[in-house]
Structure 1
Amino acid sequence: MLRELEQGLVALLKTSALAERLRQIDTLPDLDGDSLVGRFGADAPAVYVALGAGVVAARGMTEPTLGIACLARNSRSAQAARHGDGQVIGLIDLVEAVMTIVDGAVVGEQEYAVLRWDMVSSEPMTRKGLYAAVVTVRTAAPLPIEYLGERR
């Protein structure tokens, strides 16, 4: 069930008009540190979806959050990376587009709500000229019953 949430958001973003302006839309790669930053640099502009935290909201229901990492890079300048340059999408437009596409979207039976967005920076990203933000979304989903076995 949780895996399908990540995949559903990836599919939603891949079928949106935004996809034409990105080099990559996928789930977050299983890399660490410099390898992840290197991949981000090669793929930007890009978005990556990753499952975040969640709570059990009521018996049989969970409210998971997912993060959508938005990555931009522009060799012209930091301002071009953040604001775009007319050719490559900037981080601010990328964040706005992701929020617009996902907030209120229904994928399968899941309805998503955007909770917030946060700018992210680190020394390795700054060295690569990368700018990033994470859009956090929430949905509600029933817990899968196939694990209950004899309980039901």
Structure 2
Amino acid sequence: MRLTVYSDYAFRVLVYLGTRPGERATIRGIADCYGISRNHLTKVVHQLGSQGYIETVRGKGGGLRLTRDPEGIGVGEVLRDTEEGFGLVECMRPSGRGMCRIEGGCRLRGVLGEATRAFLAVLDRYTLADLLENRDELAQLLAGPVPAPDESSEPSEPSASA
């Protein structure tokens, strides 16, 4: 299974904010810290805000912060909210039904569906708090030297689809 850059950035934002409880952060600060595109990050932050994971405040003294305790933010929940779907093969996607010649007798769809459910079940056991158990170490790493951005490796457009 492969996740989108969109989900990756969503988790990066949540971890960053989780290492700074009570503080506000900026998109620029997060993007610079990770060496990632501000434009892409802006879209992710907007969605995280509209889904209630973070608060976004404009203007002087504004910024971003978590709206919930890390214990209340499930890893599986975030992934479901940032990935459009988990259809690993065409016949598992709504637009792909009836497209495969062997669909009526193929068992691959069932096997991959079971694997996807197992994957999500594992993620559902974890929260942002679990990802932040080493909060001090993460904060120290995030405060270190900024990696040089490699624009050539960034996708042209983040996608919420799998």
TM-score above 0.5:
no
Quick check: which one's strand share is greater? 1
Higher normalized contact order (CA 8 Å, seq sep 6+, divided by chain length): 2
- TM-score in terms of structure 2 length: 0.24
Decide which structure has the larger Cα Rg and report it: 2
- TM-score in terms of structure 1 length: 0.25
